[in-house]
Amino acid sequence: MSYFGNVQTIRYEGKQSTNPTAYKFYNPDQVIFGKTMREHLRFSVAYWHSFTANGSDPFGVGTALRGWDAYTGMDLAKARVEACFELLDILDVDYFCFHDRDIAPEGNTLQETNQNLDTIVALIKANMKASSRKLLWNTANMFTHPRFVHGAATSSNADVFAYAGAQVKKALEQGKELGAENYVFWGGREGYESLLNTDLGFELDNLARFLHMAVDYAKEIGFDAQFLIEPKPKEPTKHQYDFDVATTLSFLHKYELIPYFKINAEANHATLAGHTFEHELRLARVNGVLGSIDANQGDMLLGWDTDEFPTDLYASTLAMYEILQNEGGIGRGGVNFDAKVRRSSFEPIDGVYAHIAGMDTFARGLQIAAKLIEERALDNVIEQRYSSFKSGIGAEIAAGRANFHTLEAYALQNKPIFNESGRLELIKSIVNQYIINT
């Protein structure tokens, strides 16, 4: 049985290969800074885009041609598991991710829903054991069902808050059962449509209460996955509470949740918030909360989350640059393709091509970033630019020994101030050489 046609496992053939089912840059065994590409990148396939969604958009029904669509109900759920592990084999990717509702359908009661989950989790576990594939993270879908129309943990309806608690409780148990390395909280409908009918302060308090309960319960059951929050600024709600990395940090600080969470940063969410992806990664990095990434890209001229497979070498280079500079690299996180083929790429093989495109783009980004770091192409620039803080008044400032009196005394000497050019145009042309010459 094959859902993807006669595709052999994708192998590395090098950058000149014209074989569409070969990696041109991703060589899993290539060692960079003492780790293999496979270890650096920890690629992951997203269950929802690859096995659950169907290519529909607000103006049209699904277009995706998928062998498993012949099934329904739990049979469909089981077929998707097969398809998932087949694709992981084809791509030779180690990790996958899912929402609870991706893998199993809701039943008529919460009990039945949970039984459906148990059945599929057992099937997934068996497949994991047989294949050595691993769960990068799981999460709970608390946005598709109409009950979540006003949010989940931030719903104006206490019954919905309760239901969400029960659902995340179960999801944490699933994660533990499958040895998930992370557990992700993406805001779903945690946000608002209008302040005219919203008690923002109360909703944020409730969100904090909910996350504290999750922390407590994971501890209780010994589920030691890294907890991750995934910021997004808008869509589906007009304002999502976890707008961006900084907003998430301010929330975590206020509610004393800082010790328990890191960030799962998504490229297209970053740009929707008005930031570059590398900005969000850098900000997470300097705050010690860079946990994992959702690798995709948006269309900078469109105002919604397009979740395209990443093909921009500039973006992948700068993302991998941040990850390589992060202490421990991507750590327990990974590079998850929260990306979907275009609606017009509806054949099963398109999903294979798309993952190859994304993996090659990140592999090449890794190579370029590593060379930039190895040759100190940017580090030398930075070191030189800030060198005035290595001695004299600069060193005093950096050491925290200066105050307005000492600064004024220094300034009143009226020594001429010389700035140096930031040299951005030269630096960008050098980055271009690295992209081509690496």
| Residues within window 149-208 making contact with a copy of itself, judged by CB under 8 A | 149-150, 155-170, 172, 188-189, 193-202, 204-206
* Greatest C-alpha distance within the chain: 81
Q: Which stretch binds a copy of itself (CB under 8 A): 26-34, 83-91, 174-182, 396-404?
A: 396-404
Q: Phi, psi (5° rounding) for residue 44? A: -140, 140
Binding residue for a copy of itself, selected from 265, 282, 294, 295, defined by CB under 8 A: 282
Q: Which stretch binds a copy of itself (CB under 8 A): 26-34, 35-43, 283-291, 327-335?
A: 283-291
Q: Is 307 annotated to bind ligand?
A: yes
Q: Is 269 annotated to bind ligand?
A: yes
Cα–Cα distance between 168 and 296 in angstroms, integer?
26
Give 415: exposed, middle or buried? Use CB within 10 Å, 0-12, 13-18, 19+.
exposed
Q: Confirm or reject binding of residue 104 to a copy of itself (CB under 8 A).
A: no
Query: In whole angstroms, how close is the CB of 12 to a copy of itself at the nearest point?
Result: 14
Q: Is 220 annotated to bind ligand?
A: no
Give me the helix-helix angle, 110-131 and 73-91, nearest 10°.
30
Q: Which stretch binds a copy of itself (CB under 8 A): 36-44, 116-124, 125-133, 138-146?
A: 138-146
Query: In whole angstroms, how close is the CB of 346 to a copy of itself at the nearest point?
Result: 6
Query: In whole angstroms, how close is the CB of 169 to a copy of itself at the nearest point?
Result: 4
Q: Is 305 annotated to bind ligand?
A: yes
Residue partners of 342: CB distance under 8 A and separation at least 6 = 308
The verdict on whether omega for the bond into residue 236 sits within 30 degrees of 0, i.e. cis, is: yes
Q: Measuring CA to CA, how many Å separate 146 from each of 142, 151, 160, 268, 424? A: 10, 10, 10, 26, 50
Binding residue for a copy of itself, selected from 8, 34, 328, 408, defined by CB under 8 A: 408
- Residue 37 · residue 28 · CB < 8 Å: yes
Query: In whole angstroms, how close is the CB of 123 to a copy of itself at the nearest point?
Result: 24
Residue partners of 146: CB distance under 8 A and separation at least 6 = none
Long-range contacts of 212-217 (CB under 8 A, 24+ apart): 212/255, 212/257, 213/165, 214/168, 214/172, 214/185, 215/257, 215/260, 217/168, 217/169, 217/172
Closer residue to a copy of itself, CB minimum distance, 130 or 301: 301
Strands (E), 10-119: 11-12, 22-23, 31-32, 35-36, 43-46, 95-99
**8-state DSSP, 297:** B
Annotated catalytic residue, options 100, 102, 244, 360: 102
Q: Measuring CA to CA, how many Å separate 199 from each of 156, 192, 193, 243? A: 9, 9, 12, 17
Closer residue to a copy of itself, CB minimum distance, 123 or 230: 230
Cα–Cα distance between 151 and 144 in angstroms, integer?
10
**Residue 275 annotated in active site:** no
Q: Establish how many alpha carbons lie within 13 A of residue 114's alpha carbon, considering only the half-sphere containing its beta carbon.
A: 13
Residues 296-355 that bind a copy of itself (CB under 8 A): 299-304, 309, 311-314, 318, 341-347, 349-350, 353-354
Annotated catalytic residue, options 40, 49, 94, 99: 99
Q: Confirm or reject binding of residue 111 to a copy of itself (CB under 8 A).
A: yes
Closer residue to a copy of itself, CB minimum distance, 42 or 170: 170
Query: In whole angstroms, how close is the CB of 371 to a copy of itself at the nearest point?
Result: 13
Query: In whole angstroms, how close is the CB of 47 to a copy of itself at the nearest point?
Result: 16
Residues 360-379 that bind a copy of itself (CB under 8 A): 360-361, 364, 378
**Residue 299 annotated in active site:** no
Cα–Cα distance between 27 and 38 in angstroms, integer?
8
Residues 239-278 that bind a copy of itself (CB under 8 A): 239, 243-244, 246-247, 249-251, 253-254, 271-276, 278
- Nearest in space to 307 (alpha carbons), one of 266, 253, 347, 262: 266
Q: Residue 250 carries which side chain, given as an amino acid letter?
A: S
Q: Confirm or reject binding of residue 137 to a copy of itself (CB under 8 A).
A: no
Residues 26-65 that bind a copy of itself (CB under 8 A): 57-63
Q: Confirm or reject binding of residue 411 to a copy of itself (CB under 8 A).
A: yes
Query: In whole angstroms, how close is the CB of 80 to a copy of itself at the nearest point?
Result: 18
Q: Is 224 annotated to bind ligand?
A: no
Closer residue to a copy of itself, CB minimum distance, 126 or 382: 382
Cα–Cα distance between 374 and 33 in angstroms, integer?
9
Pick out the residues of the known binding site. Answer: 230, 266, 269, 294, 305, 307, 338
Active site positions, annotated: 99, 102
Pick out the residues of the known binding site for Mg(2+). Answer: 230, 266, 269, 294, 305, 307, 338
